[in-house]
Homo-oligomer: A and B are copies of this chain.
């Protein structure tokens, strides 16, 4: 695991020349790092606490939980201890934020009906690094295109955390973020952000091929998430123990690997075995899309499956099972919408 070095440390001239001008200015700041988290929820609330522990000033843009967080802060139980905190600013929208943050962390769900660009634009300054802690494949281009002059960090969370009530979060286990620049590389801001995470108590793993990491995670996510929903909101054990279930999941994982390879992200040969074996070892588990479905919340269908199917088609790779699952889940969404 790479341990980032704080950018607040003195640097030699050679290192400086590799950094953009605005980052050099930032390096010389003595004030705390300013972080704004847009789309709090369980993930945003938790990483706000982590960054606060690292000494950052942390503001939250929250909508439905504004009142409770404004008055009582964020309550978090965690294996790391009591992570509850009062944010340094609580806002109903990014328009209320007066100073552009150093890091703008996006934890919005990637679903139809949420305009991520519009949600963050008022708070993005010229020196703001945008950090996407979001699920899926190809979720970065929309942001990269809207903010071509900003540094962009793509982050994958490996964490068990859930919202247990208004402003109240239960961090159950893990917490690692794997981070890198989009589409590749790992600039100083990536290492700096990783150091903040480490200081805050969770692993910050730097990868200069974060898109490959997204494909690696998709091997599990792209089959299990939609399949759980199509099976009526099934847990992992139900899916794997049904006759034909494990075979179907494996066959879909093979399609993900073929699509990943064609997109320039070859994955290890044993990745399917590893995923299946570890899932067998887990207690029965409801994934994020299953929980969204069972709780009648919007599902991240495009981020988790649709973008992947389209990437495969651009590469000329056949993914008949994933494409079928995608069509089925789109029909399910259409049917659910009709019933409302």
Q: Which residues of A contact B (CB under 8 A)?
A: 227, 230-234, 238-239, 241-245, 247-248, 251-252, 320-321, 323-328, 330-336, 338
Report which of B230, B252, B325, B335 forms a contact with A233, defined as CB distance below 8 A: B335
Report which of B234, B242, B245, B328 forms a contact with A248, defined as CB distance below 8 A: B328
Bound CA–CA A327/B245 (angstroms): 5
A242 with B330: in contact, given A231-B335, A232-B336, A234-B335 (CB under 8 Å)? yes
Bound CA–CA A328/B241 (angstroms): 12
Q: Is the CB of A244 within 8 A of B338?
A: no
On chain B, the residues within 8 Å of A248 by CB distance are: 323-324, 327-328
Give chain B nearest CB distance to A272 CB in angstroms: 16
On chain B, the residues within 8 Å of A326 by CB distance are: 244
Q: Which residue of B lies closest to A334 (CB)?
A: B242
On chain B, the residues within 8 Å of A251 by CB distance are: 320, 324
Bound CA–CA A230/B227 (angstroms): 10
Bound CA–CA A280/B248 (angstroms): 31
Bound CA–CA A230/B332 (angstroms): 7
Nearest 9 interchain pairs by C-beta: A248-B327, A231-B331, A244-B327, A234-B335, A242-B331, A321-B324, A320-B320, A242-B334, A232-B335
Q: Is the CB of B244 within 8 A of A334?
A: no
Q: Is the CB of B335 within 8 A of A238?
A: yes
Q: Is the CB of B330 within 8 A of A328?
A: no
